[in-house]
Amino acid sequence: MSASVQVTQKLQKLQQQQQCESSCYLSSTSAVQQQSFSSYKTSSRRQKTTVKTEKRQEVVKLSPLPKRAKRTYLAMDTDKEVIGYVIPVFRANHEVVRGLMEAQEEEEVTEEGIHYVAMRNLFVREAREAVDVKVEKKTRSTHIRESAGRMELSKTMEEWAEFRKKMNPDSLTHPPEFIVKPRGQTVWEGRTVRLHCTAAGWPKPRVAWYKNNVLIDAKARPQKYTIESSYNMHSLEIKNCDFMDTAQYHASALNVKGEASAVATVVVKRFQEGEEAGPLDPKPHGFCAEHGVTFETTIIDKFEVAFGREGETLSLGCTVIIYPTVKKYQPEVVWSRNSVPLKPSQWVHTHWSGERATLTLVHLNKEDEGMYTLRVNTKSGFDTYSAYVYVRDADVEVEGVPVAPLDVRCHDANKDYVVVTWKQPAVEGSSSILGYFVDRCEVGTHHWAQCNEAPVKYARFPVTGLVEGRSYVFRVRATNKEGVSRPSRVSDAVVAMDPSDRARLRAGPSAPWTGMIKFTEEDPTVGVVPGEPSDVVVTEATKSYVVLAWKPPVQRGHEGVMYYIEKCISGTDAWQRVNSGMPVKSPRFALFDLAEGRSYSFRVRCCNSSGVGEASASTGEITVGDKLDLPSSPGNPVATRNTDTSVVVFWGASKDVKYLVGYYVEYSEVGTDVWTPCNNKPVKQTRFVCHGLTTGSNCVFRVKAVNAAGYSQSSSASEAVVVKAAISVPGRATSVTLLEAAKDYMMLAWTEPANKGGADIRGYFVDYRTVKGDVVGKWHEMNLKALTTTSYKAENLKENVFYQFQVRAMNMAGVSEASLPTSALECKEWTITVAGPPVGLHVLEVRDTSAVVLWERPAFDGRAPVSGYYLDIKEASAGEQGWKAAHEKANKTKYMKVTGLKSGASYDFRVRAQNLAGVGKPSAVLGPILARTRPGTNEIHVDVDDDGVISMIFECSEMKEGSEFVWSKNYQTITDTSRLTLVTEQGRSRAIFNSPSLEDLGTFSCVVTNTDGFSSSYTLTEEGLKRLLDISHDHKFPVIPFKNEMAFELLEKGRVRFWTEVEKCTSACQVDYVFNDVIINEDKKYTVNFNKSTGIIEMFMDSLEISDEGTFTFNLVDGKAKGTTSLVLIGDEFRELQKKSEFERAEWVRKQGPHFVEYLSFTVTPECDVLLKCKIGNVRPETQITWSKDSIEIAEDDEDAQKIERNDGDLTFNIGKISKADAGTYQVLLRDDRGKDKSVFDLTDAGYQAVMNELFRVIANSSCGIKVISTEHGIILYSMITYYNEELRVGWLHKDAKIAASERVKSGVTGEQLWLKINEPTEKDKGKYTMDIFDGKDGVKRVFDLTGKAWEEAFEEFQRLKAAAIAERNRARVVGGLPDVVAIQEGKSLNLTGNVWGEPAPEVRWTKNDKELATDERYQLKFEHGKFASITIAAVTTADSGKYALLVKNKYGTEAGEFTVSVYNPEDEENKEGKKG
Residues 578-606 pLDDT 10s:
887 788 888 888 888 788 888 889 999 99
* pLDDT for residue 484 is more than 90: yes
Average pLDDT, stretch 1427-1436?
A: 87
Q: Which residues contact 859 (CB under 8 A, 6 or more apart)?
A: 836, 839
DSSP H/E element including 437: strand 435-442
Share of the chain above pLDDT 90, in %: 29
Cis amide bond preceding 425, omega within 30 = no
Q: In this structure, are residues 719 and 650 in contact, taking their beta carbons and an 8 Å threshold?
A: no
| CB-count exposure of residue 1036 (10 Å: 0-12, 13-18, 19+) | middle
Buried b (16+ CB within 10 A) or exposed e, 317-346: bbebbbeebbeeeebebbbbbeeeebeeee
Phi, psi (deg, nearest 5) at residue 1273: -95, -25
* pLDDT for residue 1342 is more than 70: yes
Q: Give the pLDDT of residue 1.
A: 40
Cis amide bond preceding 637, omega within 30 = no
Q: Give the pLDDT of residue 1292.
A: 92
Average pLDDT, stretch 507-526?
A: 44
Q: Give the pLDDT of residue 335.
A: 93
Strand partners, 1057: 1049, 1100
Q: Give the pLDDT of residue 1476.
A: 60
* pLDDT for residue 108 is more than 60: no
- CA–CA separation, 1322 and 32 (whole Å): 89
Rg (CA), the chain: 53
Residue 804: which pLDDT band, with cuts at 50, 70 and 90? very high
Q: Give the pLDDT of residue 351.
A: 92
Residue 277: which pLDDT band, with cuts at 50, 70 and 90? very low
* pLDDT for residue 5 is more than 60: no
Closest CA to 703 of 644, 740, 734, 660: 660
Q: In this structure, are residues 166 and 232 in contact, taking their beta carbons and an 8 Å threshold?
A: no
Q: Give the pLDDT of residue 1267.
A: 92
Q: Give the pLDDT of residue 107.
A: 38
Average pLDDT, stretch 1106-1117?
A: 90
Q: What is the DSSP letter of 584?
A: B
Residue 1332: which pLDDT band, with cuts at 50, 70 and 90? very high
Beta strand ranges found along 686-801 (DSSP E): 687-690, 698-707, 710-711, 721-722, 734-741, 746-751, 763-772, 775-776, 780-781, 791-794
Average pLDDT, stretch 683-687?
A: 91
Share of the chain above pLDDT 70, in %: 85
364: Cα within 13 Å, side-chain hemisphere: 24
Average pLDDT, stretch 335-347?
A: 89
232: Cα within 13 Å, side-chain hemisphere: 21
Q: Give the pLDDT of residue 1317.
A: 93
pLDDT (tens digit, 9 = 90+) per residue, 1211-1267?
Answer: 999 999 898 888 999 999 999 988 889 999 999 999 999 999 999 999 999 999 999
Strand partners, 269: 188
| CB-count exposure of residue 1107 (10 Å: 0-12, 13-18, 19+) | exposed
Residue 634: which pLDDT band, with cuts at 50, 70 and 90? very high
Q: Give the pLDDT of residue 538.
A: 85
Average pLDDT, stretch 355-380?
A: 91
* pLDDT for residue 272 is more than 80: no
pLDDT (tens digit, 9 = 90+) per residue, 530-585?
Answer: 888 888 888 888 877 888 888 888 776 667 788 888 999 888 888 888 887 788 88
pLDDT (tens digit, 9 = 90+) per residue, 1133-1162?
Answer: 888 888 888 888 888 888 888 989 899 999
* pLDDT for residue 857 is more than 90: no
* pLDDT for residue 1064 is more than 80: yes
Span of 199-208, 247-256, 273-282, 839-848 with lowest mean pLDDT:
273-282
Residue 1477: which pLDDT band, with cuts at 50, 70 and 90? low
Q: Give the pLDDT of residue 168.
A: 54
Beta strand ranges found along 884-1041 (DSSP E): 884-885, 895-899, 906-915, 918-922, 926-930, 941-944, 950-955, 965-969, 972-973, 980-985, 988-993, 1002-1008, 1015-1020
Q: At what angle do helices 30-44 and 2-23 cross, to 10 degrees?
A: 170
Name the average pLDDT for the chain: 82
* pLDDT for residue 1382 is more than 70: yes
Q: Give the pLDDT of residue 947.
A: 83
Q: Give the pLDDT of residue 1209.
A: 87
Longest dimension (CA), the chain: 189
- CA–CA separation, 1050 and 1150 (whole Å): 17
Residue 526: which pLDDT band, with cuts at 50, 70 and 90? low
Q: Give the pLDDT of residue 624.
A: 81
Span of 427-431, 700-704, 1037-1041 with lowest mean pLDDT:
1037-1041
Residue 290: which pLDDT band, with cuts at 50, 70 and 90? low
Residue 417: which pLDDT band, with cuts at 50, 70 and 90? confident
